[in-house]
């Protein structure tokens, strides 16, 4: 007898999957007993369980999760939708949620909207076709129109990081943007900075608006001369705008960049003019990345509690999946200021 299934690419479809029926036959029990023996949903005699497990191991049986969840109507997938995977902040959140999901026997499927509401809606629709137990989403705009679709399908969801314009009725997990920005602003004042610029991407984003307001309120209260710049999303353009600012306002002592890209732009402008960040011009970043620590002194940053954000969102979603129908709530997590600057001498 020749065995064609030997070579790696030797045959077309030689492999017939091991099903629960094969295991049942091998263990001389019925398929339902195998199921119960493995899932422990009903009592099965210990010696039969042992026989089943032996057969499973011997045959290399692995339960087909798709078939399993189809019948049991218990979805094992969690949908996660984010603007982009290449942003380590989002990647971190996905990684953490995946780990949590895995330890509860579920699996995450990820969709990226690339910052486009239409793509976002399409992704949500595509994910909905997988009948996820729930969805965790970082919306790309304040509308989050896809919410309706999820509601219509009865899929529970939690919104993360970006708070919708109308936040009523949604479960939301975000950070205390205003408080975090205020803390940083106050620290700048305490350390002697009196002429600062707040670097925003676009004030149409609620996160950025909250950060801007938190910072500006603190600056105004403290009597710090502060200006807000809307610099967009392209590093080179941001650098150009900051460059102009540095020329026009030579008295400027610090820049508070409200996201990591803005920080990149600010640093590029400062370094491009031969100045030293943290010495000639202080830079504080909202959101902390590894590369911010190569500078000397290191760039100070507002650190977002990524793990806590992901955990809070996951926990909330799990409760919803379990049937919790308490009123939707908005959770705001505190951020922490990683101050690495030297006091202004």
Partner DNA sequence: GAGGATAATAAAATCGTTTTTGCTTGGAGC
Partner DNA sequence: GCTCCAAGCAAAAACGATTTTATTATCCTC
For a copy of itself, the binding residues (CB under 8 A) are 8-12, 14-15, 17, 60, 62-67, 69-70, 84-86, 88, 91-92, 94-95, 98, 102, 107-110, 112, 125-126, 128-131, 151-154, 169, 235, 264, 267-268, 271-272, 274, 289-291, 293-296, 320, 323-328
Q: Which stretch binds DNA (CB under 7 A): 12-20, 87-95, 141-149, 180-188?
A: 12-20
Q: How far apart are CA 172 and CA 178, in angstroms?
A: 16
Partnered with residue 284 across adjacent β-strands are 256, 300
Among 48, 91, 227, 328, binds DNA (CB under 7 A): 48
Contact partner at residue 29 from a copy of itself, DNA, none, CB < 5 to 8 Å by partner kind: DNA
Please identify, using beta-carbon distances, which residue of 216 and 282 lies nearer to a copy of itself. Answer: 282
Nearest to 302 by CA among 210, 224, 233: 210
Please identify, using beta-carbon distances, which residue of 48 and 328 lies nearer to a copy of itself. Answer: 328
DSSP code of residue 279: T
Does 104 participate in binding DNA (rule CB under 7 A)?
no
Does 259 participate in binding DNA (rule CB under 7 A)?
no
**Which positions from 70 through 89 interact with DNA, judged by CB under 7 A?**
70-74
Q: Closest distance between a copy of itself and the C-beta of residue 316, in Å?
A: 12
**Which positions from 300 through 339 interact with DNA, judged by CB under 7 A?**
none
Contact partner at residue 21 from a copy of itself, DNA, none, CB < 5 to 8 Å by partner kind: DNA
Contact partner at residue 291 from DNA, a copy of itself, none, CB < 5 to 8 Å by partner kind: a copy of itself
Q: How far is CA 64 from CA 17, 20, 99, 106, 295, in A?
A: 10, 9, 21, 13, 51
* Structure token pair of residue 225: 């001369």
Among 25, 53, 68, 195, binds DNA (CB under 7 A): 68
* Structure token pair of residue 15: 């492999």
Partnered with residue 159 across adjacent β-strands are 137, 172
Q: Closest distance between DNA and the C-beta of residue 288, in Å?
A: 43
Q: How many CA atoms lie within 13 A of 143 on its CB side?
A: 10
Partnered with residue 196 across adjacent β-strands are 226, 254
Q: How far apart are CA 296 and CA 276, in angstroms?
A: 9
Q: Closest distance between DNA and the C-beta of residue 41, in Å?
A: 5
Please identify, using beta-carbon distances, which residue of 87 and 212 lies nearer to a copy of itself. Answer: 87
Q: How far apart are CA 75 and CA 287, in angstroms?
A: 34
Residue 52, number of CB atoms within 10 A of its CB: 25
> Maximum Cα–Cα distance for the chain, whole Å?
90
Q: Closest distance between a copy of itself and the C-beta of residue 156, in Å?
A: 8
Q: How far apart are CA 319 and CA 96, in angstroms?
A: 18
Q: Closest distance between DNA and the C-beta of residue 314, in Å?
A: 23
Contact partner at residue 151 from a copy of itself, DNA, none, CB < 5 to 8 Å by partner kind: a copy of itself
Please identify, using beta-carbon distances, which residue of 91 and 228 lies nearer to a copy of itself. Answer: 91
Contact 248, 220 (CB under 8 A): no
Does 31 participate in binding DNA (rule CB under 7 A)?
yes
Q: Closest distance between DNA and the C-beta of residue 303, in Å?
A: 42
Q: Closest distance between a copy of itself and the C-beta of residue 153, in Å?
A: 7
Q: How far apart are CA 150 and CA 136, in angstroms?
A: 11
Q: How far apart are CA 296 and CA 104, in angstroms?
A: 43
Residue 274, number of CB atoms within 10 A of its CB: 7
CA–chain centroid gap for 285, Å, is 19
Give the residues lining the site for DNA (CB under 7 A).
Answer: 17, 19-21, 28-36, 38-39, 41-45, 48, 61-64, 67-68, 70-74
């Amino acid at each position: 007898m020749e065995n064609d299934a030997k070579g790696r690419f030797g045959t077309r479809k030689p492999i017939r999957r091991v099903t629960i029926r094969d295991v049942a036959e091998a263990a001389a029990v019925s398929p339902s007993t195998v199921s119960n023996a493995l899932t422990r949903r009903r009592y099965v005699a210990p010696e039969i369980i042992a026989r089943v497990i032996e057969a499973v191991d011997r045959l290399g049986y692995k339960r087909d999760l798709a078939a399993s969840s189809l019948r049991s109507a218990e979805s094992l997938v969690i949908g996660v939708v984010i603007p982009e995977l290449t942003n380590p902040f989002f990647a971190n959140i996905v990684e953490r949620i995946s780990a949590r999901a895995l330890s509860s026997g579920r699996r995450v499927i990820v969709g990226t909207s690339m910052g486009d509401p239409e793509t976002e809606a399409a992704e949500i629709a595509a994910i909905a076709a997988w009948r996820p137990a729930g969805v965790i989403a970082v919306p790309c705009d304040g509308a989050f129109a896809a919410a309706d679709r999820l509601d219509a399908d009865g899929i529970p969801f939690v919104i993360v990081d970006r708070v919708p314009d109308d936040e009523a009725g949604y479960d939301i997990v975000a950070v205390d943007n205003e408080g975090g920005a205020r803390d940083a602003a106050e620290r700048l004042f305490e350390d002697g900075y009196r002429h600062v610029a707040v670097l925003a991407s676009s004030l149409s984003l609620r996160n950025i608006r909250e950060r801007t307001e938190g910072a500006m309120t603190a600056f105004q209260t403290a009597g710090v001369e502060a200006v807000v710049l809307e610099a967009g999303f392209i590093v080179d353009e941001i650098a150009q705008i900051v460059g102009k600012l540095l020329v026009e306002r030579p008295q400027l002592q610090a820049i508070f960049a409200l996201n990591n890209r803005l920080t990149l732009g600010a640093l590029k402008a400062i370094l491009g003019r031969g100045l030293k960040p943290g010495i000639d011009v202080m830079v504080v970043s909202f959101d902390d990345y590894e590369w911010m620590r190569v500078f000397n002194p290191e760039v100070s940053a507002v650190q977002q509690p990524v793990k806590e954000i992901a955990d809070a969102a996951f926990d909330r979603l799990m409760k919803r999946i379990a049937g919790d129908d308490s009123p939707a709530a908005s959770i705001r997590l505190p951020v922490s200021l990683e101050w690495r600057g030297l006091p202004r001498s």
